[in-house]
């Protein structure tokens, strides 16, 4: 697999048509979440996660809204970092564990 970090940004961008299609599918999944949620099982959680991921990847407005909410409620940000297994959470935990020993 090629190293994407070494590639120019223009080659890693998605076309506007693909972004629009992904955004539409994401919104449709978010709208369908309550309908799937009434079915037995945890399906609504996965449909919501799928839709939110597509919307956040393809909408600058949604990303700004999401970041504002994370800044307002830091506990949600910590939970999101943990759930998404983000590198930032690992760095902070590592610094907390090893920084005190210095």
Note the pLDDT tens digit of each residue in 39-80: 888 888 889 989 998 998 899 999 899 889 888 888 877 777
User: What one-character DSSP code corresponds to residue 41?
Assistant: S
User: Cα Rg for the chain, rounded, in angstroms?
Assistant: 18
Are the CB atoms for 26 and 51 separated by under 8 Å? yes
Locus of tokens 């992904």: 22
Q: pLDDT at position 7, please?
A: 47
pLDDT score of 32 more than 90: yes
Q: Which one of 11-20, 24-33, 59-68 scores highest in mean pLDDT?
A: 24-33
Which of 1-5, 85-89, 94-98 has the least mean pLDDT? 1-5
Helices in 38-101 by DSSP H: which ranges?
43-58, 60-72, 74-83, 87-99
Do 68 and 77 touch, CB atoms closer than 8 A? no
């Amino acid at each position: 697999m090629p190293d994407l970090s070494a590639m120019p940004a223009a080659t890693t961008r998605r076309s506007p048509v693909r972004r629009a299609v992904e955004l539409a599918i994401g919104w449709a999944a978010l709208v369908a979440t309550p309908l799937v949620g009434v079915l037995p099982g945890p399906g609504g959680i996965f449909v919501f996660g799928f839709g939110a991921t597509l919307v956040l990847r393809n909408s600058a407005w949604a990303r700004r809204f999401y970041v504002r909410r994370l800044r307002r409620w830091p506990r949600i940000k910590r939970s999101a970092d943990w759930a998404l297994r983000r590198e930032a959470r690992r760095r902070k935990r590592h610094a907390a564990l090893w920084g005190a020993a210095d």
